[in-house]
Amino acid sequence: MTFDAIVVGARCAGAAAALLLARTGARVLLVDKGIYGADTLSTHALMRGAVLQLERWGVLPAIVAAGTPPVRSTTFGYTAQEITVPIEPRFGVDALYAPRRALLDRVLVDAAADSGAEVRYGVRVDDLVVDDHGRVRGVSAVDAGARRVLHADLVIGADGLRSTIARLVGAPCIAKGRYSAGTLYSYWDSVQSDGYSWIYGDGASIGTIPTNGATCVFAAVPSARFAREVRGHPLAAYRRWIREVSPAVDARLEEARQLEPVRGFGGIAGYIRRSTGPGWALLGDAGYFKDPITAHGITDALRDAELLVRAAAKGTDAALADYETIRHDLSRRLFELTDEIASFTWTDDHLQSLHRAFSREMSREVRALAALETFPCLLRPASVPLAV
């Protein structure tokens, strides 16, 4: 079985890539070892660049129609002051959103299928097909208990932190983080929040994120502290950290109803891997992961999915080389700032300066995305192969 592209991993990065590839006229297979519509660990928050893209791709209306509340402001709570920044209309975006992942990923997968991609769940890719010149030519996978070999011009690994594709191609790490935060979160009813809220204390931070039918409330601490204090009692640690940072938020939780158990992520240091090679590419956490403390991971994933597909659709090695350069340019400073924020060693003044720098980088990212040509330019002649 032969395709123009096989995308491994049907979360937001992989589903977005499959959607856009299919719209170029490519024959696309999107596979995932999990099940359709499953939830996953997530910060939920979409930044302006991600909302711009979802609107441009025509999938934002489905997310809004599902009851995802609009986010009209972001509040930063520091030790000495609180700063609220309204979401001003720019680049056609007048609100942000934080959909549950079972919704976001499903909407993207459905759009990919509607655009012509073939979608299969329960498929575990465990090896690559590689020719005598070292170029990836496809994958070997177990599908419904049967071994299948699937051929493609391009294999895209969007299979997460422990990416099989990244391991099999030996993707080198080109940047490494020094710090990591551990995070606990849950979902609450009757916690009023019409905007993102990030609050910072001494060695910990918390936040509230309005999502579908609930507010996600999280607490983050350095990974070493997470390992010491959770130890089988996540709810107690979660409430203790929230109380330390903001007694006011803790009091609101006393009056609210917890809808789901506490979930957690102990944290790992971030990385940027080389994301392209002969016949392969990486997306999402497979190629680039930074600490969730800045809630920018979904925006990274959607941004890079579009940039990669635009490069692949041009059909040249130079285009993919340019993609690698652009991705690193847009990622490097965001990565460095996130790593410094995840250190928890800041003062109020230092942290505010980091946030201002992060905001400038996000603005640069949005300008770059807004300046891209409209997507129909990606329609390619059938005789032009995808770049590898």
CA angle 298, 299, 303 (to 5 degrees): 120
Residue 332 pairs in a beta bridge with none
292 confidence band (pLDDT: 50, 70, 90): very high
Model confidence at 139: pLDDT above 90: yes
Question: Which amino acid does the sequence have at 361?
Answer: E
Stretch 3-32: mean pLDDT? 97
Q: Which residues contact 83 (CB under 8 A, 6 or more apart)?
A: 75, 76, 352
The CA distance from 216 to 163, in Å, is 27
Angle at 98 between CA 110 and CA 292, to 5 degrees: 105
Question: What sign results for the dihedral spanned by CA atoms 340, 344, 347, 352?
Answer: positive
Q: How far is CA 284 from the centre of its chain?
A: 6
Which residues on adjacent β-strands are paired with residue 211? 214
The rounded distance, in Å, linking the Cα atoms of 380 and 126 is 31
How are strands ordered across the β-sheet holding 288-289? Answer: 173-176, 271-273, 288-289
Residue 35, H or E segment: none
3-state secondary structure 289-314: ECCHHHCCHHHHHHHHHHHHHHHHHH
User: Quick one: what percent of the chain has pLDDT higher than 90?
Assistant: 92
What's 43's DSSP letter? -
Check if the beta carbon of residue 154 is closer than 8 Å to that of residue 312: yes
Percent with pLDDT over 70 in the chain: 96
Which residue has better confidence, 61 or 192? 61
Rounded to whole angstroms, how far apart are CA atoms 113 and 310?
19
Q: Which amino acid is at 231?
A: R
Q: How confident is the model at residue 384 (pLDDT cuts 50, 70, 90)?
A: very low
> Encoding tokens for residue 77?
């709570």
Q: How confident is the model at residue 88 (pLDDT cuts 50, 70, 90)?
A: very high
218 vs 1: which has the higher pLDDT: 218
Position 375 scores a pLDDT of 60
Listed in sequence order, the residues at least 6 apart from 319 whose beta carbon sits closer than 8 Å to its beta carbon are 310, 311, 312, 387
Q: Helix or strand or coil: residue 345?
A: coil
The answer to whether the CB of 14 falls within 8 A of the CB of 156 is yes
Using a cut of 0.85, tell me whether the model's pTM lies above it. Answer: yes
pLDDT tops 70 at residue 217: yes
Res 268 pLDDT > 60: yes
From CA 335, how far away is CA 341, in angstroms rounded?
Answer: 10
92: alpha, beta or left, given left = phi > 0 and alpha = psi -120 to 50? left
Q: Convert the pLDDT of each residue in 326-375 to its tens digit.
A: 999 999 999 999 999 999 999 999 999 999 999 999 999 999 999 998 76
